[in-house]
Every structure is written in C-alpha cells, then in structure tokens.
Amino acid sequence: MATLSDIGLSAAINILSAFAFLLAFAFLRLQPFNDRVYFPKWYLKGVRNSPTSSGTFVRKFVNLDFRSYLRFLEWMPAALKMPEPELIDHAGLDSAIYLRIYLIGLKIFVPITLVAFAVLVPVNWTNDFLDKSTAVHSDIDKLSISNIPKGSERFWTHIVMQYAFTFWTCYILLKEYEIVASMRLHFLASAKRRPDQFTVLVKNIPPDPDESVSELVEHFFLVNHRDHYLTHQVVYDANKLSKLVGKKKSMQNWLDYFQLKYERNPSKRPMCKNGFLGLCGNKVDAIEHYTDEINKLSKEEAEEREKIKNNHKSVIPAAFVSFRTRWGAAVCAQTQQTRNPTLWLTEWAAEPRDVYWNNLAIPFVSLTVRRLIVAVAFFFLTFFFMIPIAFVQSLANIEGIEKALPFLKPIIEAKLIKSFIQGFLPGIALKIFLILLPTILMMMSKFEGFLSISALERRAASKYYMFLLVNVFLGSIITGAAFEQLHTFIHQSANEIPKTIGVAIPMKATFFITFIMVDGWAGIAGEILRLKPLVMYHLKNFFLVKTEKDREEAMDPGSIGFDSAEPQIQLYFLLGLVYAVVTPFLLPFIIVFFGLAYVVFRHQIINVYNQEYESGAAFWPAVHGRIVVALIISQMLLLGLLSTKEAAQSTPFLIALPVMTYTFHRFCKNRYEPAFVKYPLQEAMMKDTLEHAREPNLDLKGYLLNAYIHPMFKDEDDDDLSAGDEREFDNVLVPTKRQSRRNTPAPSKFADSPPPSLPDASGEQLFE
Amino acid sequence: MATLSDIGLSAAINILSAFAFLLAFAFLRLQPFNDRVYFPKWYLKGVRNSPTSSGTFVRKFVNLDFRSYLRFLEWMPAALKMPEPELIDHAGLDSAIYLRIYLIGLKIFVPITLVAFAVLVPVNWTNDFLDKSTAVHSDIDKLSISNIPKGSERFWTHIVMQYAFTFWTCYILLKEYEIVASMRLHFLASAKRRPDQFTVLVKNIPPDPDESVSELVEHFFLVNHRDHYLTHQVVYDANKLSKLVGKKKSMQNWLDYFQLKYERNPSKRPMCKNGFLGLCGNKVDAIEHYTDEINKLSKEEAEEREKIKNNHKSVIPAAFVSFRTRWGAAVCAQTQQTRNPTLWLTEWAAEPRDVYWNNLAIPFVSLTVRRLIVAVAFFFLTFFFMIPIAFVQSLANIEGIEKALPFLKPIIEAKLIKSFIQGFLPGIALKIFLILLPTILMMMSKFEGFLSISALERRAASKYYMFLLVNVFLGSIITGAAFEQLHTFIHQSANEIPKTIGVAIPMKATFFITFIMVDGWAGIAGEILRLKPLVMYHLKNFFLVKTEKDREEAMDPGSIGFDSAEPQIQLYFLLGLVYAVVTPFLLPFIIVFFGLAYVVFRHQIINVYNQEYESGAAFWPAVHGRIVVALIISQMLLLGLLSTKEAAQSTPFLIALPVMTYTFHRFCKNRYEPAFVKYPLQEAMMKDTLEHAREPNLDLKGYLLNAYIHPMFKDEDDDDLSAGDEREFDNVLVPTKRQSRRNTPAPSKFADSPPPSLPDASGEQLFE
C-alpha cells in the first residue's frame, strides 16, 4: 500500500514529465520548420502560408525571438479564447461536441469533489478503525470508506452521498443532452444546402432480369415517390480500382525518393532490387524501374476504369437517390418501401466524404451472420486475448532469438543488453497487441457492414469500451487474466460478484491514482507533442518532398480518433464515479485530467486535427449511455461493498438507485435520441419553404448530379464538383481572417480517398 | 414416483371427464333454448333467426329429434370443414392466425415425437442404470435420460437430437412467420376501404394560448403535410360521461327486472331499499324508484354532453388526422414531425372499435414513470404474491369464520363439512387470486398507457407468460414459493442455476403429464361447454329479457381472450421442447392437447366468439418470440442436466445452440417484424392508384368525417356512420348463405362501448 508520500513522489515525477512535455512542445511549436506539424489545420484552411517563404534563411527554420519562449504557456489561453460558435464553424460540430465530453467531466466532478471533501473526508477521517486493525494500511485508506468500522451508522452518510452524486450526475447529463440535441438541430437547421440533405441511400435493390439497376431505381421511385423523386446515382464496385490507385501512389513515392536522391548526388544513378519489397531480385536503375512500373499501372488503371463503366456487373445493387425537397428525402429515409423489409432499404445518406464505399453491396442475410461472427470473435478477443500473447511471449525469449538470428549472439550476451531484453521482451507482444487493438476493432466493425465512417468509429468505440472495462478496470481490481475473471463470474452467484469487486475497490485506489497520473496526465501532455507526426513529417520532407503540393501531402493532421479516444475518457468517468463515495481522495486527480485534456484537445482541434467527416454529433447517445453505465456500475459496487460491511439495514436503500438510474436512461433515450436518428418533417418543410422563396430558380438536379460519385471517379469530374466543394468554406458564422486557398486542393486528399488510418476492406480480408 | 399404471389411471380419468364434457356439450348444443349460447356468432351476423319463433312449443326448447344425438361428435368435422380464407372472412384474421398457433404445435411436435420415439426411447430403454441404482424410480424414468449412466457415450445421441429438434423448430417457425407475414400483408392489401387506412393518431399536441387544439392541428398539418392532409377529429374527454351511461344502464336492468317481476305477479308491487346496494335504507316502490333514478341520470347525461361539447377544456391534446391518400397516412405515421420528439407524436390509428379511449390524454413524461411503477409492481406480484395470500389464508380458518358468523357454527361443526372446509379454505384465496390474475395484469397494462385494446392484450399476455414461467414451470420444478426461488437464483452462481433446474427436470415428468391431462385435456373440453355464459344467459333471459333486443344483449359470445389464452399455450410449447430430449414419453400428451385444442377453438371461433377488434395478427412477433425463448430455455436446461452427468466432453457442443438460436431470432425479427409494425409505401401507393382509377369521384372527406368519434357521442350521429358499419359485411371472399341483418344493431354493442371484459379506467383507479 502506498503512503501519501509515495503518491506525492509519483505525482511529482508525473507532473515533471508532463511539464517537460509541455515545455518541449512550447519550444518545438515555435520553430518555423515545425509549423506544418503543429498548425496543419490552418494550412488546410489556406489561412497560413508556408513560413519558409519569408525571412532570413536561419529564421526560416529556427525561431530566434527569445521573448516568445518566455510565454511558453501562452497557447493555453489562446486555445480557450475561440468562442464555441466559431469553433463549430472552424472545426465542425463533431469536434466542438467532443470537447464537451471533457467539460461534462469537470461539471460532474468539481462539485462532487467539493462536497465529498467537505462531508465524506471528515466522516472517514474521524474514525480509527484502521489504526486498531492489524492489516497494513496507508494514509489514503484513512480517508476512505475502509476506515469506518463494520456496522457503523456512519454508512448512512455514504448512502446519502451516493444518492446526491447520482442525482447531480443525472441532472448534468440531462442538461447536457438537451444542449447537445438543440445544438445538433440548430446546426442542421442553419447548415447551408448540402447534398446529403436531399439524398437517401437505397440498399438491397432486388435483381431484375429486364432492367438495369439504374432503370429499376428510376421506375421504382417515380412510382412510389411520384411528386418528390429527382435523380439518382448508382454505385460502382471500384474496390479493385482503389487498390491500383493506392499501389501507383506508393510507386510514385519511391520514384520521388530516388529522383531527389539523384538530384542531390547526380554523380551516382540510384539502383534498387526489383524483387519482393526491394530486398531480393536483380539490381536495376531505380528511376527507370519505377517510371516503367507507374506507366504499367496507369495503363491498368485506365483499363479498369473503362471496364467498370461499361460492364453492368460492376454496378452494385445500391444507389443514392435524390429528391426535389428535403421533405421528400426525410419521408423516404424514415419509411419502409416494400412488403419485403429486406429489399429497397432506405436510410439517410451520410455526407459524401463519410460514406464507407466498400460495405455498400453486402446483402441482408449476410449481415446477420456477420454480426454473429463478430460478436463471437469479440467475446473471445476480450476474454481470451492473453492466451495467444502468452504463447508468443513464451517463444520470444533470448534463446529463441539466438537460435533464429545467430549473428546477434555476441551483442545479446552482453550483460546489460541481456537483462534489458529479458525485462522488455515479455511485455512487447502485449504492447504491440494493445497498439493494434483499435485497428483490430475497427476491422471487426467494418466486417459488420456499417455504411459510414462515423458509424464505424462509433461501433469500434463501443467495443473498445467493453474491452477496457473488462481488461483494465475489472482486470486491475480482480487481478488475473480476463478468462479467469470469466470463470469467477460464471461460478459465483449473482450477489457475490459485486461483493468480490466492491471489497477490492478501496484497496486499489492508490493503483488507480498512479494510473491516472501516468496514463492521463503524462499521456495527454504527450499527445500535444505529436512525436510520431513530427518525425514522419521531417522524414517525408527530407526524402520525398519536391513541390509545395508534396509538402502539403506530407502533413498528417490526424483526427480526434473517436474510436479509441472516447472509451479512454469513459474510463475516467467510471473511476471517478466509482471512487467518489469510496475514496474521494482520487477525485482531484480526475479533475486535473479533465481540465488538462480539455485545454490540450481544444488546442489540437483548433490548430491540428482535420476531421474527416461531419456526423453532427451523432455519437452523443453513446457517450451519454456509457456514463449512465458507469453510474450504475458504481452503484452496484457500493452495494456490494456495503453488504460486506454489515450495514445490512441501510443497503436496501441502494437497490432503488440502479432502477431509477435505468429509468432515467430510458426517459432520456425516448426524449432526446430521436434528434440524433431522425430528421423531423417540420424542419425539412421549413428549410424547403425558405429555400424555395429565396432561390426559386435553383438548378437542384445539376447540384446533386455528381455529389455521390465514387471517390475513384471523382478526379475526372472534378470541375462538376466545384459547387459541392465550396460548401465547406461558405457557411461562415463569424467572420475570420481567412484568405483564399492558395494551391491547396486539400479536402480532396481526405474526402477522395479512404482516410489513411482506415485500411480499406482489410476487415473483410481478415475474416473472409 | 408414478408408475406407468398410475399414469394410465390418471389418463383414463381425464379422458373420461373430457369425454363427459364433450357429451354434455353435444347434448346441450342441440337444445334450441341454448342456441344463443352456443351459436351467438351466427346471431350477430344475422344469419340465424331465433329458434323460438317456429315449431311447437316443446320443440322450441328441447330437441326431440333422437337421430341428431347419435352423431354427437359431428361438430368436429364441421369445425374443420370451413376453409381458411372463408374463416378469415367470417371471424377475422386475428382468429384465423390464432388457430395457427395450435397448428404450429402439431407441426413441431408430431415429427419430433416420431423421431424421439424411434431414436431416443430405444437408446434410453436399453440401459439398466436405474435398475442398479438404489433410488426409487418409475417405468417412465426407464424411458427417460435418467436411465443413462454417468459419463456414457450415449449422451451424444441426446445432443444430436437437441440439434435436430432445434433446427426443425426453427425451420417451422421461419416458414410460419413467412406465411403469417404474407397473410397479413395480403389481408391488408385486399381489405376494403377502412377509416384506419387513412388515419393517424396524433398525441401530445402542445398547448397553444391563441389557438384551440382543432385549429392547431389543422394549421400544423396544412403546413407540414400540405398535399396530403384532409381532415381531423379532436378527442373529447368523455370518461365521466361513460360512467354516467354505465350507471344508467345498470339502473335500467334493475327497472326491467322489477317490471318483469310485477308483470308475472301483478298482485304485489315490488319494493326495494334505496340505500347502499339495496341492502339498507327505506323501503320504496322499486319501479318508481328506478324510473326516477333513470330520469335523473338522463338529465345529468344530457348536461354532461352539452358541457363536453361547449367547454374547450374537455378536448384532450390528441386528434385523429385523416389524409387524402393511404400514402400520406403511411408517411405521417412513420415519421417524426417536430424537433421535440415528445410532441406531435404520430402513430397508425387503430381500428375505431380497437381504440382504448381512456389512455389518449396521458402526457409523455408520465409514461416513463408509469412503466417504472408497473415494472416494479409486476416484479413484486410475480415473486411475492404468495405472501399476502398466505396472510389471508391464515385468517380464513374455521375459528375465524365461527367468530365472524356465529350462526353458521352448527353447520360448520358437522364433521364432513368441517373437514371439507379445512381442506378447501386454504386453497380458495389462491384460486380467487389466479382467477383475477389476468384482470390484474390487464389493469397494469392499461395503467402503462397503451392506446388500443389489441396492444393492451398483447402486453398483458407477455406479463402473464412471465408469471406462468416463474410460478408454474419453475415453481413446479424447484418446489417452493417464488420468492424462495428468487433467493436461490441470487445466491447461486450463473452455471449452477441451469444445473439445479436441469437435474430436477426428469423427476418432474410424471407431474407435468398429469398437469397436461388435467389443465390441458379436461380444461379444453370444459371450454367448449361454456358453463358460465350458459348459466348467465338463462338467468338474464329469465329475469331481464323483455324484447328481442334485450335477448340479443343477454348473449355473451366472448372472445378468444388473447391475454390469458396464448400464454397458456406457450406453457405447452415450453414443456414439449424441454422434455423432447429428456423424457420423450411426455410428447404424445402434448400432441393430444394441441390437436384437441385446435378442433375445439376452431369450433368456438366459427360458432361462438365475436372478436372485439381486428389487429391483423399483430400479435405474431410475440408468439414467435416466446417459442424461441422456450427453445433457448430447453437448451440451457439440457446443458445444465448434462453437465451433472459427467458428459463433460460433449456439453461444450451445446453452448453454440443458444447463440445460434438467438441469432435466428434476430434474423427473423429484422426480416419479418417490420411487416407487423410498418405499412410499406409501395402497398399504399398501389391501393391509392387502384382506388383513384376505380372511384375518381369518391367523397373521402364525408366517409372519414365521423369515423373516429368517441363511442359516447356515436349514437347521436349514427346515421352518418352507415358507411363505416357496412364495411364488416361487405368484404366477402367466398359467397355464403348470409341473410340480411334483422333487428341486430349488434356490432354497435361491441364497437360502441368498452367491451364488458375490460373494465374502463380501472387500471388508473387502482394505482393512482
């Protein structure tokens, strides 16, 4: 058990390391040659010019103005300064609402902490149960519920506090749901004309022997939505084409690399091997080799394009159908079209850049089977992932390495290195797995057949949350691998499980405090440094960049990464709510986490991240739901804990809490969730009427004609698309100092190709 | 443990009693004076005339044609003769589909029984495990899984059989779901014009200071459904009026009774007491007293009618909105209207006679609270109902009766009577509770705020099923009260529960066989006798009936009573599926039940029941779901049973079954359930187009004007309604020998007032 001074030391170390990260960040961000790493969002918006184009040569790379170093935390107030409406306009509603998750953390936990320290800490402290008992204990335990003797009347305080905290949390959640729902509706209402407002995605179009998909769609909607149907776009199966384009791009990178190398050292023609991964095969002239390859691929690509366009088999049975009015689209999206509910399925089309094209062709029956497979796979992943990792660990020992790579033997045998490897190796398989985990979960979600990137991220997030809950939260409390926990749960009775966990809760407080400091504080401070993009950018800048356009492509602004970031925040909500009554001493650490993370992510969202899509905060019901789950878990665990404390006469009062909390959740779901799922007809009608009055002669058909074309075909029709692309830069709420975009066709990078963090179709490859 | 001969004896007794019931029925139904008890459906349809109007006096009451007694089972083939399309036309789709539940029972269990007897019985029989063991056992146990020694390889047979039975059941369920869904869609498609096809119920209309509800509705729909809105009807709060009308009717009955009494014995003016329930107060002339009362009530009623019509406060914030086309109504019912999902809620209007008027005004927030209260109340009802009953039982002993009613003492003290009362009294409280249970559950469902009688019955049915599952099925297996079971479940681990139950399953086979014979065979045979309506009809006929119209009102055709009948069938599905592998000997008894029940209910539906509403088989998803639940329970229990049989190597194969069954359920839910919830636009458009072509000059507005008027106001506008009422008698598929209706405004009895079996608003009274 750690004492207060241990915690103090750990806090000091972590505060120092967080401080060091912030200092490093403050230093690095001021260097002009890092400008594209720390302010990519502004480059993409076209507001910022390359800093290398002005000033003396040295000033281009290093900031010599020492005054600027003195105010090294000045980014913090700057990050907080931008008002929310401008933030929504600048980074989208998703990002602005995402920040509100941290704000909720503060809103919930600051008052709870004040009350807990004012009431619970004195109540706990003025006992001397632990002093009398023989068990080892720390100073923190004296502040926690452990210090209260069994059967004491003081437990009433904890029960009342749990009620108070529950009501406060529910109150904040309710308010916040209300605010977010109205922000979403306002956002949708004030949004400029967008193709997805008029468009519905139709899936599972039945095959017809006489008509093509396109004719079929036209006829069907002309009959059944007579007054509203406008036009439609069929979807081509361009997965093979995407692969070719990707391959060509990587070849182009290599070509650039060798050309740059040749330019810098013209005396020597660069050579490369033409075999697998450039590791084997004959040596050939690199530039010639890659030019050849690129030409070959270009030809193949053109052939594939022709083939897709002319072959009616490459049209998949799905289409984007556009309507004359938003009302017509809203009606079509919310209704069932035919007798057979597995045919002609309609749903709102996602934004064009949010569409996940690879999943559009999955038939209905296969969806059920896919969900089953993923559910089973996820179950095994969660509870049994330690088994293959333990197996890999048993292989990856020193002897194994020496056997496989005998030439490394002298190095490995050196004492210092040997002990390092022995200490490091067992952990590395686990570490690699944990780094890959969000990608694996994303693949699983893709395999399940979701149709938009935003839906995929939401699904992957809920899986990741389950994993964290079982393996981090429960795994730390009941020490032992997850499958051992599973065994325990199956073999324990329903009322024993909360007891087992509840009893262990107070003992793990110091562990979780350290966890919060390492994972939360230092982790968040590390996030702002952006070490990986920093290194990658400079590598690319050195080896590949020839033109300004290349440099722009070398920037990796990244995005929030809802699928892995949000579940981690939820872990802190869970810890905070569980320990609020049990060990209030943990709460200030949670508050510091939420405060720091809020500032850091606000800075990142303003200056760095470039969100790939705009879902209009569609993730909020999931966020809300998980906080409610955390609340119910905290109530169950307190119930379990108190039932071992012989406070039998008081515990029944706690049983009502989960029931009431669940009812609260049902109420919120009914009251607010429709705002995130459906599009009310009144709103649609209002916007239609307004638009009709303002622009009676609008050519809507022309506007929608190519909005939902597959990204692979978009380049060809780029000029048709100007209307659609302008959109993003039109809907300005607050005037900013934006200049016109210089040479940046930047959005095309993120809208026209699958985003780099989401490998195409790899989910299917893994499981099929 | 019962031996085979015990079972044989029990079977003989029950077959004899069932036979006696059938014989009594055959005799009674041929007597003309019972004609209205056993053939009320035909009277309501106007096909049958009163048999008392022809023939000699004796023949009017007693059937003297002895030949007809010889063919006393002739109703059976007659009941089976009517083809299904004519049955649908005659009794409605609900009744026809309800019969299919029994048919499914036969389709599932006949092949399972054949296979089980061919495979499992020899496998079980050829062991001699039980002979060697010291435990008592019966012959039936020799045929069951109990006869197989622990750890035997023969358990593989049972696992394979469980797989086979599961697949067969799922196959039948799938086929049946498909058939029922297409029958429903065909029924809806071929249905004649009905008001509910064009009408949507709008609830939670927000209050407006400037406009009345009616104006508000008109404006809202004129704006948001511009091209489709036709007309609307507001709903009046006529609950007080209904009470007055009910009171007046009961007074009228008493007046009739005394007038008849006076006519038969004109020498003596009948007298009655004017106090509480006619038990106290002054003696007054009965005819005068009741005439006065009726006049008073008529005046009050007229005043109340005026008040409702003129006071805008008696308009509740709900309305029935009708559209020009079915397409428009389908769109409005399936979409969200405004930002706030708790206002302007739209859903399909139920048939006018299916609407449950009392619940239309419940606000949204209150619904969540009501559901919570009912859920908690239902939980306590299910698990703790024995406690108050035990309390009542402890009061209702002989000494208590002697104290309360001392004049009964000499009778009670007689030995025979005393022992009878002592044996009988403890059970009577429980018996009364069980008889009242469906009514209590219906009250709970009403309190939850459902808006149509069909939805109320479905909800009450699912509650009743839960109750039967816990208290009859589990209660018989783990002997002991339900709250003791609850205690066991909470204190046992998740894998112990199926074991505890599974082990007890084979031992309870004989008990359940007896149960099936008593409750199933004899119960069904008793159903056909209609003892209660028979007695009630003759009482009313003697005391109240003056005119033909009175006699018609004295008929009580009843209805299927989905809320209590369907859960009881489900119990047999559960028993059959659980015992299919364990003790196949039980299966033939199940088959006899399903066969007998099918014939009996087919007869009743054709000749007796008058369904109060037509929901278009909306109950099927619930029926399907409960059979799947029974399937999963059977799999879990077999798993539990085998895990105690040391067949550890084979049990893991069973774990996959519940997962696959659940996936099957998800698939069916997605595939077929929308057919029961939504109305596809294609169908609506087709019917609209057809109708428009056939009747271009239809006055739809006039047709819909008074369709959804509150039943209390309907009498006044009766002539407007002829179009609506004719409907039922128009849609003839197969020409029958129907004559025109004589003096029968019969449908008005069942459509215009809340059905007698569903006491109005009593749910609210109970809980508020």
Q: Which long-range contacts (CB under 8 A, 24 or more apart) does B602-605 make?
A: B602/B79, B602/B80, B602/B82, B602/B87, B602/B99, B603/B75, B603/B76, B603/B78, B603/B79, B603/B528, B604/B527, B604/B528, B605/B87, B605/B91, B605/B95, B605/B96, B605/B98, B605/B99, B605/B560
CA angle B110, B114, B115 (to 5 degrees): 120
Instruction: Tell me the range of A656-660, B292-296, B671-675, B743-747 where mean pLDDT is highest.
Output: A656-660
Based on the domain organization, do B370 and B345 belong to the same domain?
no
- Condensed to tens digits (0 to 9), the pLDDT of residues B332-365 reads 888 888 888 778 888 888 888 888 888 887 877 7
pLDDT value, residue A164: 93
pLDDT value, residue B257: 77
Nearest in space to B213 (alpha carbons), one of B197, B202, B225: B202
pLDDT value, residue A718: 44
Q: Give the distance from CA A156 to its chain's centroid.
A: 41
Percent of chain A with pLDDT over 90: 14
CB contact under 8 A, B225 and A659: no
Percent of chain B with pLDDT over 70: 79
Distance from the Cα of B622 to chain A's closest Cα (Å) equals 18
pLDDT above 70: residue B371? yes
Identify which has the larger pLDDT, B664 or A648.
Answer: B664
In total, how many domains does chain A have?
Answer: 3
Q: How far apart are CA A256 and CA A754, in angstroms?
A: 22
Identify which has the larger pLDDT, B534 or A397.
Answer: B534
Convert A623-651 into a string of H (helix), E (strand) and C (coil): HHHHHHHHHHHHHHHHHHHHHCCCCCCCC
pLDDT value, residue B749: 37
Instruction: Tell me the range of A145-154, A386-395, A412-421, B191-200 where mean pLDDT is highest.
Output: B191-200
Based on the domain organization, do A657 and A590 belong to the same domain?
yes
Confidence of residue B649 (pLDDT cuts 50, 70, 90): low
Identify which has the larger pLDDT, A147 or B588.
Answer: B588
Sheet holding B199-203, edge to edge: B229-236, B315-323, B199-203, B345-348
Q: Which of B226, B325, B682 has the most A C-beta neighbours within 10 Å, making it the best mutation to test the interface with A?
A: B682
Based on the domain organization, do B87 and B187 belong to the same domain?
yes
Identify which has the larger pLDDT, A596 or A130.
Answer: A596
- Chain B residues with CB under 8 Å of A330 CB are 335
pLDDT value, residue A620: 92
Percent of chain B with pLDDT over 90: 14
Confidence of residue A108 (pLDDT cuts 50, 70, 90): very high
Strands B271-273 and B345-348, sheet pairing: unpaired
- Condensed to tens digits (0 to 9), the pLDDT of residues A238-250 reads 777 888 888 888 7
CB contact under 8 A, B667 and A365: yes
pLDDT value, residue A573: 94
Based on the domain organization, do A590 and A638 belong to the same domain?
yes
pLDDT value, residue B559: 79
Based on the domain organization, do B224 and B343 belong to the same domain?
yes
pLDDT above 60: residue A582? yes
pLDDT above 70: residue B757? no
pLDDT value, residue B717: 47
Identify which has the larger pLDDT, A468 or B479.
Answer: A468
Task: Of A268-277, B300-309, B616-625, give the lowest mean pLDDT range.
Answer: A268-277
Confidence of residue B275 (pLDDT cuts 50, 70, 90): low
pLDDT value, residue A746: 37
CB contact under 8 A, B369 and A663: yes
Based on the domain organization, do A430 and A474 belong to the same domain?
no
- Chain B residues with CB under 8 Å of A364 CB are 670-671
Confidence of residue A760 (pLDDT cuts 50, 70, 90): very low
In a domain, A657, yes or no: yes
Chain B residue whose CA is closest to A227? B227
- Condensed to tens digits (0 to 9), the pLDDT of residues B280-305 reads 667 777 777 788 888 888 888 888 88
pLDDT above 70: residue B8? yes
- pTM, two decimal places: 0.80
In a domain, A224, yes or no: no
In a domain, B596, yes or no: yes
The average confidence (pLDDT) of chain B is 78
Query: Between B334, B365, B660, which is nearest A335 by CB?
Result: B334
Whether the ipTM is more than 0.95: the answer is no
Confidence of residue A425 (pLDDT cuts 50, 70, 90): low
Pick left, alpha or beta for residue B325 (phi over 0 → left; psi -120 to 50 → alpha; otherwise beta).
Answer: beta
Distance from the Cα of A684 to chain B's closest Cα (Å) equals 9
CB contact under 8 A, A491 and B493: yes
- Chain B residues with CB under 8 Å of A490 CB are 493-495
Where is the domain boundary, A310, A339, A355? A310
pLDDT above 70: residue A610? yes
Based on the domain organization, do B529 and B404 belong to the same domain?
no
In a domain, A437, yes or no: yes
Mean pLDDT over A377-383 rounds to: 89
Identify which has the larger pLDDT, B281 or A593.
Answer: A593
Mean pLDDT over B204-209 rounds to: 84
Task: Of A537-541, B532-536, B730-734, give the lowest mean pLDDT range.
Answer: B730-734
Q: How far apart are CA B608 and CA B596, in angstroms?
A: 17
Domain span including residue B434 = 364-448
Mean pLDDT over A73-77 rounds to: 74
pLDDT value, residue B721: 36
pLDDT value, residue A68: 64
- Condensed to tens digits (0 to 9), the pLDDT of residues B491-520 reads 777 777 778 887 788 888 888 888 888 888
In a domain, B142, yes or no: yes
pLDDT value, residue B311: 76
Based on the domain organization, do B173 and B279 belong to the same domain?
no
Mean pLDDT over B246-271 rounds to: 78
In a domain, B758, yes or no: no
Task: Of A588-592, A677-681, B415-419, give the lowest mean pLDDT range.
Answer: B415-419
**Cβ–Cβ under 8 Å, residues B1 and B136:** yes
Nearest in space to A762 (alpha carbons), one of A317, A243, A244: A243
CB contact under 8 A, A493 and B491: yes
Task: Of A173-177, A188-192, B571-575, give the lowest mean pLDDT range.
Answer: A188-192
Distance from the Cα of B563 to chain A's closest Cα (Å) equals 26
CB contact under 8 A, A334 and B330: no
Identify which has the larger pLDDT, B625 or B351.
Answer: B625
pLDDT above 50: residue B747? no
**B288 to A761, B259, B269, B295: CA distances (angstroms):** 88, 10, 10, 11
pLDDT above 50: residue A334? yes
Identify which has the larger pLDDT, A282 or A320.
Answer: A320
Based on the domain organization, do B22 and B107 belong to the same domain?
yes
Q: How far apart are CA A317 and CA A363, in angstroms?
A: 9
Based on the domain organization, do B79 and B225 belong to the same domain?
no
Query: Between B489, B495, B672, which is nearest A491 by CB?
Result: B495
Where is the domain boundary, A677, A708, A723? A677
Q: Collapsing DSSP states into helix, strand and coil, what is residue A582?
A: helix
Based on the domain organization, do A505 and A584 belong to the same domain?
yes
Confidence of residue B480 (pLDDT cuts 50, 70, 90): low
- Condensed to tens digits (0 to 9), the pLDDT of residues B383-432 reads 888 777 777 766 666 666 666 667 767 776 676 777 666 666 666 777 78
pLDDT above 50: residue B745? no
Confidence of residue A5 (pLDDT cuts 50, 70, 90): confident
Contacts of residue B432, defined as CB under 8 A and 6 or more positions apart, other chains included, come to none
pLDDT value, residue B693: 84
Phi, psi of A283 (to 5 degrees): -80, 130
pLDDT value, residue A652: 73
The average confidence (pLDDT) of chain A is 78
In a domain, B299, yes or no: yes
Phi, psi of B363 (to 5 degrees): -75, 165
In a domain, B762, yes or no: no
- The first and second tokens of residue B130, run together, are 């039980």
pLDDT value, residue B724: 37
- Chain A residues with CB under 8 Å of B680 CB are 335-339, 341
pLDDT value, residue B632: 93
pLDDT above 70: residue B764? no
Confidence of residue B739 (pLDDT cuts 50, 70, 90): very low
Based on the domain organization, do A155 and A8 belong to the same domain?
yes
- The first and second tokens of residue B725, run together, are 């009422």
CB contact under 8 A, A224 and B670: no
Phi, psi of B8 (to 5 degrees): -60, -45
Mean pLDDT over A121-142 rounds to: 67
Q: How far apart are CA A200 and CA A349, in angstroms?
A: 5
pLDDT above 60: residue A54? no
pLDDT value, residue B400: 65
CB contact under 8 A, B493 and A495: no
pLDDT value, residue A766: 33
pLDDT value, residue B31: 76
Identify which has the larger pLDDT, A490 or B568.
Answer: B568
pLDDT above 50: residue B198? yes
- Condensed to tens digits (0 to 9), the pLDDT of residues B43-63 reads 777 766 655 444 555 555 566
Q: Which of A224, A225, A383 has the most B C-beta neighbours within 10 Å, making it the best mutation to test the interface with B?
A: A224
Task: Of A301-305, B287-291, B391-395, B637-641, give the lowest mean pLDDT range.
Answer: B391-395
pLDDT value, residue A745: 37
- Chain B residues with CB under 8 Å of A337 CB are 680-682
DSSP state for residue B745 in the 8-state scheme:
-
- Condensed to tens digits (0 to 9), the pLDDT of residues B13-38 reads 888 888 888 888 877 777 777 777 77
